[in-house]
Each structure stands twice: as structure tokens, then as C-alpha cells.
């Protein structure tokens, strides 16, 4: 299928009136045969930037996608628009692959999805040599950068596309890349002459909430119960064991919570992912193995029970909330052990020294974000080379400015205790010494005779943990290399110990219980009047039935935003239904009559007919 006008494709196939942001410029540039490097936040409409040129230009659009498990959902969404989208990967048998290859040779496929490993196979390259290719789209392009947070060596081979198909435009897309990562993407993919389209990284609909905690799981439950009692969400954990334990715990609390991690069978992972995509109100509890390319638009919250390794990882993972542009929460709880664990993992890594320095730099930045007292959104935008923004008024630090205090004396006591005990002990032991506890171990080592014994009795153990956490976070203390959790002084500690440098730390927060519980009824992404709630519920019910019948996620039929627009516009004819945002020609033909009947029945009941 080839169309001559991008706006016509947008209107008739996708059902939207106008492009957003830089979409039009990107699409027209690629249609003209130019290469492009696109940075656009999650939910900003990146997929249209290669799908529409694939339909306008002659030939098949080839999309490189890193995760096989996600191709099916992307293909389902395109097929729901009456487009011939296909994927070739290891899940298909030989006969299915041959059938798709035959369709490709006949020129009937609009968009083809392949993994980078599959694309670089000699047989796939030989097949592409026979075809007319409209473009190559390299999704999640940050995977090509060793400086990035999700480096995948197989992406390096994609530079062959420039050599082998110099006349075919290439578009690389990512939601997460600082300036250095962008430079590496351009270099490693041979996109040095590509035009860069850098959209704002701001996701104003997401509220960032970060807090230090000693009981993160309980606080997570209070947060979910108060603000997302029946919403879909993602909970990220650092370890697979914590994933399983947290999912089971949430199930006992009455929520549908499904685990997702690498030790599960591929079948179980796929089953849980499909339930998350296709059912309402499901929570997926996962390691970072989950999420890349997830298109579910109505994820209302993303929670982290551990500190991510980098700002890029944090931004990408939180970006899976609120893809529909409506309010969503990014909630995170972390503690001292997170800081220690990540430092140890980094030090014990088998990576070369250069890569370790990169990881250390990124972890330092993540810790700075977690411990900062100013606007978090402003800091994130500045990190991604988008300076000059004002304080957002919609993050925890803006809404409830944190209290700081002069921590110089406490820091000196803590670091003196580290030094006098021989820099061989962990935080819990050091706190016991500072508290003046005469444990058998402390007496055995003679540390009850030290000048630092008991000098911190006036500070609570939880507050001492906050002091140590921030000293480690800001590199005044380092975790040992042997993995026993002991801490040592760094060079940065000297000026503080000598009284030449003062420190301002965040005061430890008390546990705060949310005051208000939101309604557990299914909510639209826009304000729905109480009188319109029956119509909203009826439209969602019909959508679910149709999605179940087709074995696709509900949003593939219509998104919440489209249903909300139906509620607002109350179409009385198919012509009026075609004016609803997100209702293109094919979906109007396929679903229009049934959804129109629901609206008409609602109107008739109101009129008393």
C-alpha cells in the first residue's frame, strides 16, 4: 500500500487530525529520502515517524526491534488498522517464514519487524537485496552506545545497512540519550550526516516522587491503595527473588500482580506480559528485563522498590507510565542498602575499567537525583541537555520542599568512627559503636574503648542510616571491594574531617500516610461527569468484548482517549463518529456501528425513549 500524502495517511488510517511536535518535519524528511536521528520521549509518537513514511514511500518499511516478545503487539496494532504488518523471528516455523518471504517478494507487506540478530543473518540480508525497501527504522537506538544504559553488542553490526543499502533512508529512534550517547549513536550507525530531531524530554503529566525508606514495600502498598486502587502499573525490583516475593505479597493484598524476570520460562513471561497488556487493573512486578517497547497507554504508575543504576534507566522505565498523556505517578523508594549493593555490583563487575568509570558516573548522577532538594524535573531536563526550564511544581520536592540541616558534625563523627574502627566494618556495626552499645563483638574488638564510642547516642539509628547513606551517595565513603559491606574513607572525606568543608543533608523523612483514597471505579483519562459514567462503562465493556474476541489488548481496538472523546462528542451518525480522535477509516468500518449503537442507546435512555 502506497499513499502520496502523509497527512492523508494520518487522517484516514490513524484517525488523527494533525501531527504533534516535530512529527511532520521528521516524517517529511524521511519521505524525501533523508536519514534522521530522533529523540522523542515515550508516548511522544515515535512509531508514526517511521510507520507513515513506510506507507508513503514505495516498498516495505523494515523496523529493527530489540525484543522478540514485543513484536507481536506492535504488529497487532498495525493489523487493526488494516495494514499488512509482519515479523520474522525465531518464534515462527519454517513454513510461516517462507509464506512471509513470499509476500515480501510480491510487495504486499507494509511493515516488517526483525530483531537485529535476525536482520544481520546472511539469509535475511540476501532477502532484502531482492526487495524494494522503503526505509530502515532502528528502534531503541541507544542500545548501540556503550556509553548508554542498555548497550547491546548486536546493534553495532547495523552499520552495515549504510554500506549495503546507501540509497535507503535510515531513521534511528530513542527516548533516552544524553549528548554523548547521541554522538555515539550517530557514529556507530554511520548517521554522521543525519539530521537530529531532539524533542523536549519533559513529561509534564508524570509526577516524580522519590523517598528514602526503611519499609519500602509497606509504603508501596499505602501509595497503591490510596492513589491507584484499580489502576494498571509496573513495579520494578533489583533482584528476581524480590520480584517473586513482591508479586506474591501484592496478590495477598488483593491485587492481580504478576512476576516477570529472566529465570521464568519464556512461556510464563509471555503469558504474564499478555495479561498485563490485555487486562485492566493488572500490576506487573519485574526486573529491568520488562518494558522496552511496551505500548500500553494507560499505565497509571511506575514504582521502583530499588534505586536504578542510571538516570537514563530511571527515565526510560518511568516513561512507561502515562503514555496517553494523562496524569501518572513515578514513585520510588530506596535506602542505604541500595546504595551499598549498587556500589558493590559495580566494583565487582567484570567490565573493563573504562566501562566501570561510565557506570560509576551514571550511578553518581542517579544518586544526585535521589538525594537532591531542588526540583527533580528541572534536574532531569538539565541532565539531558535541556537547560533553562522552570521548577515544575509537580514533583515531591516542589510540592513538599524537603528540610535540610547542617550535617557536618554528624558526618565528622561517622567518618571518625569509620577511621578508628580500622575501616573494616559495615554500617550497622558502626551505628552500634556510635550509639554506645556494648555488644559482644564491640567488646571483643575493644571498640567500646574508642573516643567515638557512644558519641552518637543522641541520634536515632534510622537517622544515622540516613547520614551514612548520604555520605556513601556523595562519595565521602566507599564500599569495600570484597563484598562484606564494610566502608572506607575517600579522599573527599579529608576536608570535612579537618573542618574545611561543611555539609547540608536532607533530613530523614517520617512515614507519611496518604490522606485520601481515590475512587476505585474505572476512570477516563479526562474528567467524566457522574451522569456520563454509565456510557463510559458501556463503551469500555464493548471494547473489552471486541478485544477478547480478537485476542488483542483493549487499546488496539480504541484507546481510553478515543473512548473519552466519544463520551464528549456523543456521535449520532457514522459521519460524526469519524470525527472522533483515533477513529480512522478502517476502524470506523470495523467498529463504528457497534460503538454508535452504545452511544445511541445511552442517549435514548436519557431522553426516556
As a whole number, mean pLDDT of residues 231-246 equals: 94
Q: Is there a contact between 288 and 317 (Cβ–Cβ < 8 Å)?
A: yes
- Please report how many Cα atoms fall inside a 13 Å half-sphere around the Cα of residue 310, on the Cβ side: 22
Task: Say how many C-beta atoms besides its own lie within 10 A of residue 234's C-beta.
Answer: 25
Contact 212, 466 (CB under 8 A): yes
Q: Please give the grid coordinates belonging to residue 220.
A: 508501596
Answering whether pTM is above 0.95, one says no
Q: Which of 606, 347, 279 is nearest to 486 (CA)?
A: 347
Instruction: Label residue 526 by pLDDT band (50, 70, 90).
Output: low
Report the mean per-residue pLDDT for the chain.
88
Residue 91 has pLDDT above 60, yes or no: yes
Q: Would you state the cell numbers that stand for residue 9, as one nine-digit string?
A: 495517511
**3-state class of 279 per DSSP?**
coil
Look-up: residue for cell 509471555?
Answer: 270
In this predicted model, what pLDDT tens digit does every residue of 334-365 receive, in sequence order? 988 888 888 877 777 777 777 778 888 888 88
Residue 516 CA to residue 514 CA, distance in Å, equals 6
39-68 pLDDT, tens digit per residue, is: 998 778 899 999 999 999 999 999 998 877
Among left, alpha and beta (phi > 0; psi -120 to 50; other), residue 425 is beta
In the beta sheet, which residues pair with residue 301? 233, 329
Domains with residue ranges and CATH for the chain: 6-198 (3.40.50.300), 206-399 (3.40.50.300), 404-506 (1.10.10.10), 530-607 (1.10.150.80)
Q: Which three cell numbers stand for residue 150?
A: 542498555
Q: Report how far apart the first and last C-alpha atoms of the chain are (Å, whole number).
A: 45
Tell me what pLDDT residue 125 has. Answer: 95
Region of 6 please: left (phi>0), alpha (psi -120 to 50) or beta: alpha
Least confident of 122-131, 515-524, 569-578: 515-524
Q: Per-residue pLDDT tens for 119-178?
A: 999 999 999 999 999 999 999 898 888 765 567 788 889 999 999 999 999 999 998 777
Q: What is the DSSP string of 62-97?
A: EEE-S-HHHHHHHHHHHHTTT--EEEESTTS-HHHH
Tens-digit pLDDT profile for residues 584-598 = 999 999 999 999 999
Helical (H) or strand (E) element with 256: strand 256-260
Tell how far CA 314 is from the center of its chain.
7
Which of 492, 425, 422, 434 lies closest to 463, judged by CA? 434
pLDDT above 50 (res 514): no
Q: How confident is the model at residue 509 (pLDDT cuts 50, 70, 90)?
A: low
Q: What is the pLDDT of residues 447-467, one digit of tens each?
A: 999 999 999 999 999 899 999
Whether the per-residue pLDDT at 516 is higher than 50: the answer is no
For residues 484-488, average pLDDT: 82
Helix 427-435 to helix 461-473 angle (10° resolution) is 130
Q: Can you tell me the mean pLDDT for 231-258?
A: 95
Contacts of 375 (CB under 8 A, 6+ apart): 391, 392, 395, 397, 398
Query: Would you list the DSSP string of 395-429?
Result: SHHHHSPPPEEE-HHHHHHHHHHHHHTTS---HHH
Of residues 324 and 243, the one with the higher pLDDT is 243
Q: Which is it for the CA torsion 7, 8, 9, 15, positive or negative? A: positive
* DSSP string across 49-64: HHHHHHHHSSSEEEEE
Instruction: Find the mean pLDDT for residues 427-443.
Output: 94
Amino acid at each position: 500500500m502506497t499513499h502520496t500524502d502523509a497527512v492523508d495517511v494520518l487522517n484516514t488510517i490513524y484517525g488523527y487530525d494533525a501531527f504533534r511536535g516535530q512529527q511532520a518535519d521528521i516524517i517529511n524528511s524521511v519521505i524525501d529520502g533523508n536519514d534522521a536521528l530522533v529523540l522523542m520521549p515515550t508516548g511522544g509518537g515515535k512509531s508514526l515517524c517511521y510507520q507513515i513514511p513506510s506507507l508513503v514511500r514505495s516498498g516495505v518499511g523494515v523496523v529493527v526491534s530489540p525484543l522478540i516478545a514485543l513484536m507481536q503487539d506492535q504488529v497487532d496494532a498495525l493489523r487493526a488498522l488494516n495494514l499488512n504488518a509482519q515479523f520474522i523471528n525465531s518464534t515462527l516455523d519454517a513454513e510461516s517464514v517462507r509464506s512471509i518471504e513470499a509476500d515480501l517478494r510480491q510487495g504486499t507487506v507494509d511493515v516488517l519487524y526483525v530483531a537485529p540478530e535476525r536482520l544481520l543473518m546472511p539469509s535475511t540480508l540476501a532477502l532484502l537485496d531482492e526487495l524494494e525497501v522503503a526505509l530502515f527504522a532502528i528502534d531503541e537506538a541507544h542500545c548501540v552506545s556503550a556509553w548508554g544504559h542498555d548497550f547491546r553488542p548486536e546493534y553495532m553490526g547495523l552499520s552495515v545497512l549504510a554500506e549495503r543499502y546507501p540509497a535507503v533512508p535510515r531513521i534511528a529512534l530513542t527516548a533516552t540519550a544524553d549528548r554523548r550517547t547521541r554522538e555515539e549513536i550517530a557514529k556507530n550507525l554511520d548517521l554522521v550526516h543525519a539530521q537530529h530531531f531532539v524533542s523536549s524530554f519533559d513529561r509534564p503529566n508524570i509526577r516524580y516522587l522519590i523517598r528514602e525508606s526503611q519499609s519500602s514495600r509497606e509504603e508501596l502498598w499505602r501509595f497503591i491503595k490510596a492513589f491507584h486502587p484499580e489502576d494498571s502499573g509496573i513495579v520494578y525490583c533489583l533482584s528476581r527473588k524480590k520480584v517473586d516475593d513482591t508479586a506474591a505479597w501484592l496478590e495477598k493484598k488483593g491485587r492481580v500482580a504478576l512476576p516477570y524476570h529472566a529465570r521464568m520460562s519464556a512461556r510464563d513471561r509471555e503469558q504474564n506480559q499478555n495479561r498485563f497488556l490485555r487486562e485492566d487493573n493488572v500490576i506487573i512486578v519485574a526486573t529491568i528485563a520488562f518494558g522496552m517497547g511496551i505500548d500500553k497507554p494507560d499505565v497509571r504508575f511506575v514504582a521502583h522498590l530499588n534505586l536504578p543504576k542510571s538516570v537514563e534507566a530511571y527515565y526510560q522505565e518511568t516513561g512507561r507510565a502515562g503514555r496517553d498523556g494523562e496524569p501518572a505517578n513515578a514513585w520510588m523508594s530506596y535506602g542505604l542498602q541500595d546504595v551499598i549493593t549498587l556500589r558493590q555490583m559495580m566494583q565487582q563487575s567484570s567490565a573493563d575499567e573504562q566501562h566501570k568509570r561510565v557506570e560509576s558516573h551514571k550511578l553518581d548522577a542517579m544518586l544526585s537525583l535521589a538525594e537532591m532538594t531542588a526540583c527533580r524535573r528541572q534536574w532531569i531536563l538539565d541532565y539531558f541537555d535541556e537547560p533553562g526550564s522552570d521548577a515544575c511544581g509537580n514533583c515531591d520536592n516542589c510540592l513538599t520542599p524537603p528540610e535540610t540541616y547542617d550535617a557536618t558534625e554528624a558526618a565528622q563523627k561517622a567518618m571518625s568512627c569509620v577511621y578508628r574502627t580500622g575501616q573494616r566494618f559495615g554500617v550497622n556495626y558502626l551505628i552500634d559503636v556510635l550509639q554506645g552499645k556494648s555488644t559482644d563483638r564491640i567488646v571483643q574488638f575493644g571498640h567500646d574503648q574508642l573516643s567515638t564510642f557512644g558519641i552518637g547516642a543522641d541520634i536515632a539509628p534510622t537517622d544515622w542510616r540516613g547520614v551514612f547513606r548520604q555520605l556513601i551517595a556523595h562519595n565521602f565513603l566507599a564500599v569495600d571491594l570484597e563484598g562484606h559491606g564494610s566502608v572506607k574513607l575517600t579522599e573527599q572525606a579529608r576536608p570535612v574531617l579537618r573542618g574545611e568543608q561543611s555539609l547540608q543533608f536532607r533530613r530523614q523523612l517520617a512515614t507519611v500516610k496518604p490522606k485520601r483514597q481515590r475512587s476505585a471505579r474505572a476512570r477516563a483519562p479526562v474528567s467524566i461527569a457522574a451522569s456520563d459514567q454509565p456510557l463510559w462503562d458501556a463503551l469500555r465493556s464493548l471494547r473489552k468484548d471486541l478485544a477478547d474476541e480478537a485476542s488483542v489488548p483493549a487499546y488496539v481496538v480504541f484507546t481510553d482517549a478515543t473512548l473519552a472523546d466519544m463520551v464528549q462528542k456523543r456521535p449520532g451518525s457514522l459521519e460524526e463518529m469519524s470525527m472522533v480522535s483515533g477513529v480512522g477509516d478502517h476502524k470506523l468500518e470495523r467498529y463504528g456501528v457497534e460503538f454508535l449503537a452504545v452511544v445511541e442507546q445511552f442517549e435514548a435512555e436519557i431522553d426516556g425513549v
